[in-house]
Amino acid sequence: MSETQLSHEYWMQLAYAQAALAAAQGEIPVGAIIVSQNQIIGQGFNAPISLNDPTAHAEIVALRDACQNIQNYRLPDDAVLYVTLEPCTMCVGALVHSRVSRVVFGAFEAKAGSLVSARQLFETGYYNHVFSFEAGCMQQQCSEQLSAFFKLRREQKRQLRLQEKLLNTQK
């Protein structure tokens, strides 16, 4: 494994830890960090439910944190976003406007991924800024984290339905 791959895995592990914080709050476990000059300048995790904000995806939360920390709406030229799930269309748009230089993501998002999976937004030629990206860093761990979360949610819903059914039969 190259030094660059080791570095990417180091930062992705920190994004993965952010995703675990989201899961602990009942949010879909997606985490993100933004790195510049080997320092974290922004971090965040999915929080649309707890913040009552449909735009509070991990990438957006991390961008807001970074921009507040550096006091600029544009990121430094070397800024890299690490995120555990392929960004959606909204997040790609925000990343373009932030002028991030690179995005490294873990799991692919078949339904809403906008770099590789569902859409390839940069193939449109529309954007005035294009960042490079790397797909699949810690893909298995990131995918398993999401799968485990949704499996638990399904089991919780199943248990709730069983309890409701039991209560209804006791009436």
d(CA 61, CA 45): 7
Q: Is 57 annotated as a binding residue?
A: yes
CB-count burial class (<10 Å; 0-12, 13-18, 19+) for 136: middle
Which amino acid is present at 74? Answer: R
Q: Please choose, from the candidates 27, 20, 34, the residue with its C-alpha nearest in 3D space to the C-alpha of residue 68.
A: 34
The topology (CATH level 3) of 3-169 is Cytidine Deaminase; domain 2 (3.40.140)
pLDDT digits (tens, 9 = 90+) for 7-62: 999 999 999 999 999 999 999 999 999 999 999 999 999 999 999 999 999 999 99
Which one from 9, 27, 59, 155 is the annotated catalytic residue? 59
pTM over 0.85: yes
pLDDT digits (tens, 9 = 90+) for 97-124: 999 999 999 999 878 887 887 677 777 6
d(CA 96, CA 115): 12
Q: Is 137 annotated as a binding residue?
A: no
Q: Is 67 annotated as a binding residue?
A: no
Domains of the chain: which residue ranges?
Answer: 3-169
Is 155 catalytic? The answer is: no
